[in-house]
Structures are given as C-alpha cells and as structure tokens.
A and B are shown apart, each in its own frame.
Chain A
Amino acid sequence: MRQALIQTDLIRVLGLWRARRGWLLGGAAMAVLAALAGVALLALAGRGVSEGLRSGALTGAAVGSLLLLRPLMALRPGARYLERLVTHSATFRALADTRIWFFRRLAERLPAGLGLRGAGDLLGRLVSDVEALDGLYLRALVPGAAAIAVVLAVSVLLGAAGPALAAIVALPLALALLLPPLLAPGAARAAARVAKARGGLRAAAVDPLLGLEDTLAANAEPRAAARLEEAGRALAETQDRLSRRSAWGGASGGLLAQAALLGALGYGLAGGPGAVGATIIGLFLALAAGEVLAALPRAGTALAAAGASARRLFDAADTPAPVAEPASPAEAPRGHALRAEGVRFAWAPDRAPVFEDLSFELPEGGRLALLGPSGAGKSTLASLLLKLAAPQEGRLTLGGVDLAALPADAVRARIACLTQDARLFDDSIAANLRLAAPEADDAALWRALERAGVADVVRALPEGLGTRCGEGGARFSGGQGRRLALARALLAPADILILDEPGAGLDPSAERAFLETLESATEGRSVILIAHRLLGVERPTRILRLVGGRALPAMG
C-alpha cells in the first residue's frame, strides 16, 4: 500500500471523528501533561541527587529539585489516570460514530448485504476493522503527541543550557519521532502479506469442510490436514516477517534513545567540569524521554494496521449504490398492480443475463406463482421489485408508475418480502416481528404467528413473545425460525407480498398446511409465491414458469 493512500484514508477517518474533537484533543492533552510530568519527575530526582553529590551537601539546586518532586509525585499519576480515562472515553465515542456511519452507509450502498463479495467472514472482518481503528488514536496519535511534546521540551530545556548538548540529545530523539511514518508503509506491506496468508489458511480449512463428505469418503483427511499445515506454515512465515520488522523498529527506537543518553555522558566527559551541570540534566532527560519514546516505533505498526482497516472499510462503504434514487421522484401511485415489460437483467456485464425479455402482469389481489429450477432467477425478480437491483432494459411498474421513478423507501413500503435468507435478530420474538410493523399490538403479533403456524410453539415458551431468538435465530429449529420469519412478513402492512420459498426448511405437512391457508393468510393482498414446484394446494390465480430468461404461462 502506498503511503499517500494510508494518509488519505486515515485523514478521512479523522474527518469522521470531527464531532468528537474536544474529547480527542483533551485526551491527547492529558497524555502530553502526563508525559511531561514523568520526564520532569525523573529529571528532578536525578538532578537533585547529582547536584548534591557534586557539592557534597544538600543545598541550593539539590534542595530546590527535591522539593519540586513532591507536587510532581501527585501530578504524574493523576495525569496518567485522567489520560487513560479521557482517551478511552474519546475512543468509545469516536468508534460509536464510525460504527453508525458505516452501518448507514452500507444500508445505502449494499442494501442486499455483502453477498458473494469474497469468501470467508468478510462482515465479521469489517466489524473488527471498525474496532481496530482505536489503534490510530490510542496507539499512534496519543503516544505521538506525547513524544513530540517531550522532544520539544527536551530541546527547549537543553537549548538554554547549551546548543551543542541540545543537538546531541535532542537530535536522536527527534529522529525517533520520524520512525512511525517511516516504518508504517513497510509494516503495511508486511501486514497485507499476513492478511493474504491468513486468507490462504482459511481457504485450506474451509474447502475440505465444505466438501466434508467427499473428503471423508476419499479418506483424504491426512491430505487435507497436510494442506492446512502448509498454509499455517506460510502464515507463520509472513507473521514472523512482520514481527521481525516491528522488533527492528523497536530496536532502532531503543538505539536512538541510547545514543541520546550516551551522547550526553560523552558531552560531559569531553567538556570537563564546566559542562557537568548541563550533562546531568541532559542525561536524566534522555533517560526519561527514552521511556516515552519506547512506545513510538510500535505506533508505526498501529498506523499501518489502522490504515489497512480503514482501506477495507472505505472499500465497502464506497461501493456505488446498486440503484440510484430518482432525481425527481414521482408521486406514489394509488394502485398496486404490478407489471413487467420486456425486462432484461444481468448481475454483471460479463455474466449471462438472468432475464432476456421478461413480461408479466399481476393485478391487485392476484396470486402469482413463479416456478422454475434453482438458478432460473426467481429470487432475482424479488430483488428487482424491491429495488435492490435495476433492470438494464425494459421497465417494472407499480400502479402504473415506473419503479425507477419511485424512491426505494416508497416501493418497500408497498412490497414486503420473505427472502430465502430471512434472518432473525438476537432480540425478542416481539421485537423481531415488530421490525415489519413497529406499531403492531400483541394481538396483531399473535394473529401473524397463528397464520404462520408457529403460535403454538411460541405459546409453549415460558417467556412467550419475550423469548430471545439468539443469533440468527439459533434458539429455534430451522423450520420454526422460518415460520417466525414468515409471520414477520405477513405482519408487514404492505399491498404486495413476495414469499420466496416459504416452505423451505418446513416439514412437508407443515408446508402443505401453510400453503393451503395462503389465500386467507394474505388477506386479499397481491402475492408472488416463488417456488420450484407447486404442491397443488396453493390456488394461484396465475402460474408462470421461468425458462431461459422469459416467463411462460404454465398449467398448475
């Protein structure tokens, strides 16, 4: 990664944190105060004892220095404590803002989710990327501010004593300040290689697990294990290189601090008795500054890591929205008859089109069954109707108005959908259902549960509607979760209901039972039922079969 790119990304992150400026600057100010107090503490203690030793008595400069120690002994821990509190509070605020910004951004740019954007848990990765941005502030900016303040203070104090000594001590320390930006690009490259090797390791773990039956059937466990081991070794090698880099970064920081310390001592040896007073201050200042600067080379790694996280976040956040909002939206239509006219759609220019010339009509209150083998594009039609994608040719109309002229929000208010991957949230059943209708009362929730055939299950739970669903509905079996999602879709106050494979995951008798009541459950709304076959109990008003990108009328 180029340095300029890291910089741009990190500056953009700081832009996102603008509203928290006061807290962030306050934390850095506290860090500066604590670092200066620490330097002063050590320098005064050293000076007091040394001056005492020089004069052989506790007088003058010695007493002055030692007396000053007392307030500093209280100031330094207090400032450190406040620094940690304020910087952490600032980080929490800044990260909360970033999280919300990112969430809104993805809702706008990737409303259909991340989909197939690369294997592995990209979403989990992105969430931890947001958290990793704390390193930019806590491990790079705050120690950096403290170090700059210390180096400045050392230069000013020693500059007064003698410019030569100031140069000998402050120059190496100032050079240490340059380490983080110098080390960051290399660390970023090394970190990118680690990330790539980690992807390789994940692939080596996922591939045999995805084909677990085939792996076991072929007695290929040892080969899969060997491949994983090899990928693990490759990862360890890249990690080793990264940690070596960071170790050498630390070593160069240590070297510069030692150069300042020993330089001060050498200045004293060369300068004779006249230089002793300045030497003592220089020596103890260098010793104290070394401690503050020790954290600095790691700041380079922190910068690189934050840069990489920021890059991934912005990559996802800057995805162009799949469907642009209309510049001058049309008024929402009264009716809700649906019509497709010569729709052509492909997910990407280089992929085969899903629809070539799709046309159909769904009058108000009609029930359309859309059939076809998997991969024929049944779910793609739902995406087009919900404005998660837009046709390349032809048009879709709702109540006679082109969907392209309507805001996505207005369309989704009229069309509700039970998607194939309808997910339950780790929240109560009631909260999950009320996603579809925030104002619905408990009676309405029970009606929807009843229609979806899952009311008995919920009634039997000790906490009833208040039962938490667990992550992704883990509390329930696949069929129960599916029916809860169905209840949620039925609850939505929309004119048109798209049910994408409502029977998936249900046992055959439950599926049949629901489809038999489809007509009453949907209360006269328009329904698009997506399935790969009909059971014969659905009573649709129209049946279309998707073949080769066209919808052909079919017999039940």
Chain B
Amino acid sequence: MSKPPPAEAARARALLSATARSGRARLARPILLGLASIACGIAQAWLIATVLATLLGHGTAGWAELAGAASLALLSIALGVAQEAAQADAGAAARAGLRRRAFARLLRAGPADERPVGERATLVVDRIEALDGYFSRWLPAAALAVAGPLLIAIAVAAEDPLSGLILFVAGAMVPVGMAVTGIGAALASRQQFDALQALSGRFLDRMRGLPQLVLFRRQEAEAEALAAAADELRRRTMRVLRVAFLSGLVLEVIFAAVLGCLAWRHGNLLVGGHPAPQAALFCLLMVPGFFAPLRAFSAAYHERMAANGAAAALAPLLEGPDEEEGLQLAEIPPSVVVTFEHVALTYDPARGPALTDLTFRVLPGEALVLAGPSGSGKSSVLRLLMGFHAPDGGRIALNGRDATTLRPAELRRLSAYVGQKAHLFRASIRENILLARPDATPAEVEAAARAAHVAEFAAALPQGLDTLVGEGGFGLSGGQAQRVAIARAFLRNAPLVLLDEPTAHLDPGTEAQVLDSLRRLCAGRTAIIATHSPALRARFSRVLELEQGRATLSRMAGE
C-alpha cells in the first residue's frame, strides 16, 4: 500500500474524528479512570515519601502510612484494570457502529459495486478491526499523555515549586524535541509503516500467484528477488528509523536530565539542611510516573498509523448520508404493469451504452422473453427493475408511476427474482426458502417446495427440508439450487417475476424439469425473462430480441 494522497488522508482523519465525536461519552471513561489511577499513584508516592523521610530521621510516619500506601496501590491497580475494560468497551462500540454503517452501504450499493466479495468483506471485517487500536489505545493514551504529566507536575509543584517547574519544562520539551528531531518522527514512522506495508504487499502478491511462478519454474528466482527486496527495504527503513528513534532518544534524554536536575536540586538544598526532606523524596519518586503516560503514548503511536490506512480505505464507502432517498410503498399492488419508455443506460462511457432507447410494455398475466447474445442488455433490463441501477434516460413506470421515485429496496418488494446461479446461504433448505418471506407458515413453505419440485429431492436428504446446505453444508447440484430459488419465488408471491437466465447452467434434462416450475410461477403474474435458451423461449409467447442494447425484433408465438 502506498502512502495515501493528502485528500484521502484528510478524509480518513475526518472519518476517525467524526466516529470519535459520536462515541465521546464512552471514550471519556477510560481517560477519567486513567487519571484517577494516576491520582492514586501521586497520593501513594506522597505516603511512601513520608515513610521514607521518617526512616531518614525526618518525621513520625509509620505502619499506618505504609498500610495507606498499600491500599492506594491496590486501588490504583484496580482502576488500571477498569481503565482497560473501559478502553476495550469503547473500541468495541466504535467498531460496531462503523461495521453496521459500512455493511448497510455495501448492501445498498448492491451488485453495482463490482469489487470482489473478499475485498468488500475485508472492508467490513479486517479494516474495521484494524481501527480498534485507534479508539481503544491511541485516543486514551494521547489524552493521558497530556493530562497525566500535567497532573503530576502540579502535584510536585505544590510540594516544591522549582521541581514542579522542572517537570513542566520537561513535559513541554517532549513534543518540541520530538518535532525537531524527526521533523516529525511521525513522518519517519509513517514512511517506515508504508515501506513495511509495501513489502508485505509484494510478498502477498507473489504468494497469491505462487502457482504461476511454480509452473514457469521461477519460484527460486522469485525467492531470491524477494530476499533482495527485503534487504534493500531494510536498509532504507533503517535509515529512516535512525531518525525516527531519535524521538525516543529525546524522551530518554529528558528523563535522565529530569532525574539529574532533581537530584542536584535537592542535593544542593542539603548544603543548608534540606527544608522539606519529604518533598525531595516525593519529587524523585514521581519521576517514573511522570514519564509512564508519555511512554504509553509513544508505544500507541503505531496504532494511529495503522488506523489511518484502514480509515482511508473505509472513508469513500461511508461518505454521504446514511439514509437512503426515495419513497416507500404503502402496500404491494396485486398486479403490476411494467412500461419502459425510451430507456437508456450506460455503466461506463468507455464501454458504450448498455441500453439505448428501449420501449416495451408487459401486462399482468403476460411473460416477456428477452433474447439476444450476451452483452446485448438483457440482464440490464432486469437490473433496472431490481433497482440495482437507475436509468440514465427515458422512463420506467410501474402501474403508471415512475419507478425511480421509489427506494430501490421498496422497488424490490414488488418482485420475485431468480438469477443464473442461486446462492444457498449457510442454513437449512427450509430457511433458504423462508428467506423470501420470513413470516410464511410452514405449510406455505412446503407448498412452495412442492411447486418448485424441491420436495422431491429434499425427501431423499438426511433431514429433508431441514438439511443444512450452503458453505459447509450438504452440497446441492446446480439444478437443485436453482429449484430452491424458484421455491423462494413461489413463496414470495409477488406480482412481478424477474428471471435472469434461470437455466443457463443446467443440463437439458434438468432444464426441462425447471421449465415446468417456471411456467407455473409466471402464470397470472407479470413476468420478464432474460434467456439464451431455445427451450425456454419456446415455452413463452412474447419475445423481444435485443442487440447491443436495442430492441431489434419483437414477435408473438407462431409469428
């Protein structure tokens, strides 16, 4: 992955901050718990300093203070555990919200989004998971890196103003030092991150194509090339890291300097007899605590880098309003008249129009067969009626009303659809049929299964209609899967039936059986069927021949 260009990076940042804003309340909890834990640490250090001062002959503290320090230690640790739980919770909530939105967008985009399924699934799963560190670790660490040291510096200043000042100055120097050394350690570490991504991208690319390399006997050459690339990248990355790690060096130098300054400050006070021995010890004891949030911050820095990449991939998907536009249907009409008037559709200007000036009308009880070579626009007609795309010109009317004013999901409520290859979801056959109308009764499902000849083959399966199919389930043949899809269409009982090459992948014997079911499905409804199959054409009377998106011939049976 290369470095995202500035506009993309800005969108990524906008997405992250918008998500953080909407989850503000949850994100504040770990920060408050973290501050409480730091406050406990301060109180505990104060008690330890008192006890230690007593040991050194200044004061009268004893076991009671030690017990107090022990209880504060326990409390601080408990608060730390609670902070981690709150962080995990905030991260999970942020991810759940983003996942819901991203998935809804993918479903809404429908088949118009032509990226491979794996890639789209990666967006909803891996990309969003990669954002976890940003919300659960980076944001709290960033807030605590400012608030924690500030709190400690104030506490120290209350005991000894000069020591407090030393800490203030040190705290202020950390970001300044980091900025100067790296001209952004950020920049350097981003480069490092990108370079590593590029290397693993190349590795993955070659691994995916491994069979090609093996077949052309280039695996050994490629292994050496990969090693050389890794070596070269390591050299370059190490050059970057030499600079990037300077920011860590700055932190260490400041740490050592603070410790040294405080030791000399209180050492020098001794010359005249230290005025506040307990304060001196307290200041020293607070030094590790002062730097702990800063260390946590620099450890969490890579989370931000990782999140930026993931957010850049997600941002385009999540742009625009969440609500879909369009009207909703009051009720489903019992019958539908489909009218196309001069309809035009172009997916991609480079590929030319998919449909040009297409006009036809289908009445209830009629079945229109769309015929023509592949690429002639048959499927496009169905896609328009499914709301997967909107026409670029002309008008599609359903019962006289413009179809494009409806929300695509509402448009689909009017129709039952059977595609080329039915997808069987990982569930029982019964549930797969039920998908079409979840509120159907068992008797209705069984009737649909009989009508589509599903019942016949299901009877031979181990658990009948309750046999698990889909991924990891019982394998059904293409013809059987297609019959399940037809059963869905029967159960749906919609006024419009849309069939896209329903028999394309079936052998002639299976096709004949399926055809019979299809004919009954279309009876009494408005049906549009895209097909190559002569057998299917022969069963229906009206045929519209398409070529390159135009209607070339329309005929009735027997013409």
Please report A residues at the B interface, Cβ cutoff 8 Å. Answer: 41-42, 45-46, 48-50, 52-54, 56-58, 62, 66, 69-70, 72-74, 76-77, 80-81, 84-85, 88-89, 92-93, 95-96, 99-100, 103-104, 106-107, 110-113, 119-121, 123-124, 126-128, 130-131, 198, 201-203, 205-221, 223-225, 228-229, 232-233, 236, 239-240, 243-244, 246-248, 250-251, 254-255, 258, 261-262, 265-266, 268-269, 276, 279-280, 283, 287-288, 290-291, 373-374, 386, 388, 409, 412-413, 416-417, 419, 421-426, 435-436, 438, 471-472, 488, 492, 507-508
Which of B50-58, B138-146, B166-174, B334-342 is found at the contact surface with chain A?
B50-58
Cα distance, A279 to B92, chains bound together (Å): 46
Instruction: Kindly list chain B residues whose C-beta atoms are within 8 Å of the C-beta of A99.
Output: 203, 226, 230
Q: How far is the CA of A223 from the CA of B409 in the complex (A)?
A: 13
Q: Are A214 and B435 in contact (CB under 8 A)?
A: yes
Give the residues in chain A near B222, CB-CB below 8 Å.
103
- Per-residue A-contact encoding for B264-277, CB less than 8 Å = 1, 0 else: 10111011011001
B81 touches A213 (CB 8 A): no
A412 near B217: Cβ-Cβ < 8 Å: yes
Residues of A within 8 A of B52 (CB): 50, 265, 268, 280, 283
Contact A201 B125 (CB under 8 A): yes
- Inter-chain contacts of A53 with B (CB < 8 A): 53, 56-58, 270, 274, 277, 280-281
Chain B 255-268: CB-based contact to A (< 8 A → 1; otherwise 0): 11101101110111
Contacts of B238 on A, CB cut-off 8 Å? 85, 88-89, 92
Interface size on B, residues (CB 8 A): 137
**Contact (A49, B266) CB under 8 Å given A69-B260, A80-B248:** yes
Q: Is the interface of A mostly helix, strand, loop or mixed?
A: helix
Q: Does B415 contact A (CB under 8 A)?
A: yes
CB–CB B107/A225 < 8 A: yes
- Bound CA–CA A421/B253 (angstroms): 56
Q: Could you name 26 residue pairs across A and B whose Cβ atoms are closer than 8 Å?
A: A50-B56, A53-B274, A57-B270, A72-B256, A89-B234, A96-B231, A100-B230, A103-B219, A103-B223, A120-B118, A121-B118, A206-B118, A209-B120, A212-B110, A218-B488, A225-B104, A229-B100, A232-B95, A243-B84, A243-B87, A246-B84, A250-B80, A250-B84, A373-B507, A419-B212, A423-B212
Task: Check A81–B249 contact: CB distance below 8 A.
Answer: yes
Please state if B226 and A41 are interface contacts (CB–CB under 8 Å). Answer: no
Q: Is the CB of B51 within 8 A of A265?
A: yes
CB pair B267–A52 under 8 Å, yes or no, is: yes
Segment at the interface with A among B149-157, B311-319, B422-430: B422-430
Are the CB atoms of A96 and B230 closer together than 8 Å?
A: yes
CB neighbours (8 Å) of B124 from chain A are 205, 228
CB distance from B379 to the nearest CB of A (A): 10
CB of A240 within 8 A of CB of B89, answer yes
Establish whether residues B227 and A92, one from each chain, have CB atoms under 8 Å apart when the complex forms: no
Is the CB–CB distance between A54 and B207 below 8 Å?
no
Distance, CA A110 to CA B213, complexed state (A): 12
Contact B252 A46 (CB under 8 A): no
Given contacts A45-B284, A104-B219, A107-B223, contact A128 B419 (CB under 8 A): no
Does the CB pair A80–B205 fall under 8 Å? no
Given contacts A212-B111, A419-B212, contact A103 B207 (CB under 8 A): yes
A438 partner, pick from B63, B81, B212, B221, beta carbons under 8 A: B221
Across the interface, do B485 and A214 meet the contact criterion of CB distance under 8 Å? yes
Bound CA span A244–B211, Å: 43
CB B459 to nearest CB in A, in angstroms, measures: 22
Please state if A435 and B55 are interface contacts (CB–CB under 8 Å): no
In the bound complex, what is the Cα–Cα distance between A42 and B286 (angstroms)? 11
Cross-chain contact A219 with B413 (CB below 8 angstroms): yes
